[in-house]
Each structure stands twice: as structure tokens, then as C-alpha cells.
Amino acid sequence: MLSHFGRIGLLGQRCLSTAAARIPWSEEAVKPLSSFVGKKLGRGSSLELTKQQLVDLLTSEDASLVQAYILQANSVTESIFSNAVSIHGFMDLHNMCERNCQHCYMRRSNKDVKRFMCFPTHVYDNMEWLYNNGIATIVISSGEFNNEGRTEFIEGIIENTIAKSTEIDRGFRVQKGDYSGGNPIQIGLQMGEIPMNSCRRYFAKGASLAYLRMEASDRLLYKDIFIREKGYDERVATIQKMMKQGYEVYSGTLVGLPFQTPENLAEDILFLKDVGVDGVDLDVYMPTKNTPIYPFWREETHNDYFGYLEKSFQQLKRMTALSRLVLRDVNITASEHQLLLHANGLQEMLNAGANVVKMYSGPLWTRMFNLYFDEMQPPFPEEEVLKHNLDYIRSAGKVPVLNRAICHSPSFIRRFNPSL
């Protein structure tokens, strides 16, 4: 954990605007990338990159080339989304899990985890707070638990959240003389691999968004790191079936895993493109004690925790930029967790291709049990979650979307309207 004075220093750095540090796009600024791909690049031009090209870009030590493709990625983002950034409010329902994934703090065999369970009223209160502040998406997050009683429990939460949020929106409209009715908040689910019968039932009740990370697209890495009760093919099938059902699906992988190679990371980007996901959700592997792969991480990094965080953040930023260049019009997430990796982590991610911020907005006490905040304290006072996230978005030169408008990715819209 950071010392008290170390945290004050980081917080002070975070308060500084990054606007002055941003370099504007120009043909000259992206010339190193143009030379690399062998063609002139215009503002907003995406790229078809091979696996080897991705590896070369991920491992490049040419700072001007790295800066060039990050600038190009931001130009692609702004050509599609302008400078708008949408916010997904994440509500942690519980941290109990029936799976035993080798990397995960919440694994069922970890007896040191402080487990918690929220009530449905916590979800409704969180939704009301989000919607009243103009945020259009709530993502209900939990460990993986699948049985009939659990399915009925989640169905009830979804149904009541839809009804209550519709009434909130109707109230705002009536104040403006609009009596046409109300729109519900978008409900997302981040609950691991959900059986398709439950997926269909949740969708029928009103859930329309799903987060399900692949974690690692390489079969051997997936097996060695995770050794899930469910296999690689089953997870891919779940992602594809949820997309077919009509969910807007976000998937991604982790950066910094033990045994991971640059080739693995390049394959991750191409995998996400081949699957055709609607959103990309990348993050850094956070080494967690009392998990089977922790000793491998210690050996690989020589237990240099802060050196690992900096290196992994830079790799994550490169992965985000290259994902934007290759997948073009998907939504790509950034998170307040990235402030634990780098003083201006969230702002830098928003200028490297990300256009969605994951904000952890549930009951304040649940943050005590969060995977990322178990080892390190949250990067700002818990009661100021929204204020700080809005400040970070604006200091990146972006504009938060606060009009209760759902920001679907163009790739998701095109899935149902191929002519667009």
C-alpha cells in the first residue's frame, strides 16, 4: 500500500490538467506511423495490421512511433465520438463466486476474502443516484453464481430497476412539458459466464449490456493461468451467444499476466476483432496474494510492484490505442483503477482511444472489498466518486455525457443495421 505522503504526492499530480501536455494531431506528428505502414494517414484513418506489425508496435522502443499511433488512435476516436465520453456506473452486488480461477482474488478457495452481499434496495438507490446525475448505464457486477434461485433474484432486480428508472425519466420529461412517457436506464451485467437460459430471461426483463472478459485469448495461457471448470471454447461460445441474443457485449483481456508474451497481446486484439465484440474492456492483471499464480508473478517481476505497475500501464495504453486503430468503431473502456497505475492514468487512456469510463459507484463500503482496492487505497475520497471522475474526463479535454442518453457503439448498431 502507498504511504500516506506518497498518496498525497500522487493526488497532487493528478490534480494537474493534462491538457497542456496533449499534442495535436498533424501529418507530421503521425509520420513515423505512416512510414511504418507504408502509406499516408489522414485524421481518423484506422488500420489493418498483421500480428507481426502489432507485435512490433507493442514492443517498439521508438518513442516517436508510439506517440504517433496513440495520436492516430485518438483521432479515430474523435472522428467517431467527437470528444464525448459516456460513463458506466458499476454496482458491486456481491463478491462471492463459485469458480476457482487461479488469478482471481474472489476465487472460492480464498478464505481470506471478506465477503459481502448487497440488498436489491442498494441497486435501486444506486440507479436513482446515477440516473438523477444524467448517467444512462448501470452495470450490476458480481462473482459467478448460477442456480434457479439466483436467476429469479436477478430477474426481480432487473425488472424493478427498469420500472423505477422509467418513472425517474418520466418525471424529468414532465417538468419540460413532455408527457410521452419515460425511458429506462440501460442495465448491464458483469457476472461471469451466465447460462443461456438465464441470459434469455434477463434480456426479456430488460438487461441489454454484458461484460465478459476472455482474460486471455491464447489457449495455453488461458489454461495455465485460469484452469477454469469451464473451458476456452465454452467461454467463447457464451460471448457469441450473448451477442446473438441481442446483448451489447464488452470483452477483453488482461495485460501483465505471468507467462504472457507480446505475441499473446497481439493475438488478443485480433481475437476481439474476429469475434466482433461491441466493446473492448482491457485492464492490468493485479497481483493478488493467496492466489496460485502470485508466486509466478513474483518470480517474473522480481517482486518489483511499482515497476510492474508502470510497465503494465504503458503496455495497456499501447493495447488500447492499437485496439482503436484495428477495431475502429467499438466502445473502449477506461477505469478509475488506472489511477492506481499512473498519476494521470485515466486521462491518458481517454487520449489513447478509450471513450467509456467505468465508474465504481455502489455503496461506499463495498469498495473495501474491491479486487483493486484491497492492496491499494482508492485514488480519491470515496464520497467524491462522481466529481473526481468528471474532473478527470474534462482535464483530458473530453466532455462527459450526462443527459441520460445511452451511447451504443456504432459496431453494435451496425450489427442490426448492416447498411449503416
Q: What is the pLDDT of residues 122-155, one digit of tens each?
A: 999 999 999 999 999 999 999 998 999 999 999 9
User: Cα 97 to chain center, whole Å?
Assistant: 20
- Residue 4, pLDDT score: 30
With 0-12 / 13-18 / 19 or more C-beta atoms within 10 angstroms meaning exposed / middle / buried, residue 136 is: buried
Among 381, 386, 349, which residue's Cα sits nearest to residue 126? 386
Identity of residue 151 = T
Distance CA 366, CA 379 (A): 15
Distance CA 94, CA 158 (A): 16
- How long a stretch of residues is the chain? 420
Among 302, 374, 304, 315, which residue's Cα sits nearest to residue 342? 315
Q: What is the pLDDT along the chain (420 residues), one digit of tens a residue?
A: 333 323 323 333 333 334 435 789 999 999 999 999 999 999 999 999 999 999 999 999 999 999 999 999 999 999 999 999 999 999 999 989 998 888 888 889 888 888 889 999 999 999 999 999 999 999 999 999 899 999 999 999 999 999 999 999 999 999 999 998 999 999 999 999 999 999 999 999 999 999 999 999 999 999 877 766 568 999 999 999 999 999 999 999 999 999 999 999 999 999 999 999 999 999 999 998 888 999 999 999 999 999 999 999 999 999 999 999 999 999 999 998 898 899 899 999 999 999 999 998 887 777 666 555 555 555 566 568 899 999 999 999 999 999 999 999 999 999 988 776
- Classify residue 418 as left (phi > 0), alpha (psi -120 to 50) or beta: alpha
298 touches 254 (CB < 8 A): no
Helix axes 120-132, 148-175, angle to 10 degrees: 30
Q: What does the block give as the cell for 394? A: 474534462
317 touches 260 (CB < 8 A): no
**Which long-range CB contacts under 8 A does 288-291 form with residues at least 24 apart?**
288/103, 288/104, 288/105, 288/371, 288/374, 288/375, 289/112, 290/105, 290/110, 290/112, 291/102, 291/103, 291/104, 291/105, 291/107, 291/110
Among 280, 333, 287, which residue's Cα sits nearest to residue 311? 287
Q: Which residues are CB-contacts of 28 (< 8 A; sequence separation ≥ 6)?
A: none
Which value, in Å, is the radius of gyration of the alpha carbons in the chain?
A: 21
User: Cα 45 to chain center, whole Å?
Assistant: 24
Distance CA 337, CA 317 (A): 13
Tell me 25's DSSP state: P
Q: What is the pLDDT of residues 241-290, one digit of tens each?
A: 999 999 999 999 999 999 999 999 999 999 999 999 999 999 999 998 88
Domains defined for the chain, CATH in brackets: 4-20+73-416 (3.20.20.70)
For residue 133, what are the CA distances in angstroms to 71, 307, 392?
31, 38, 17
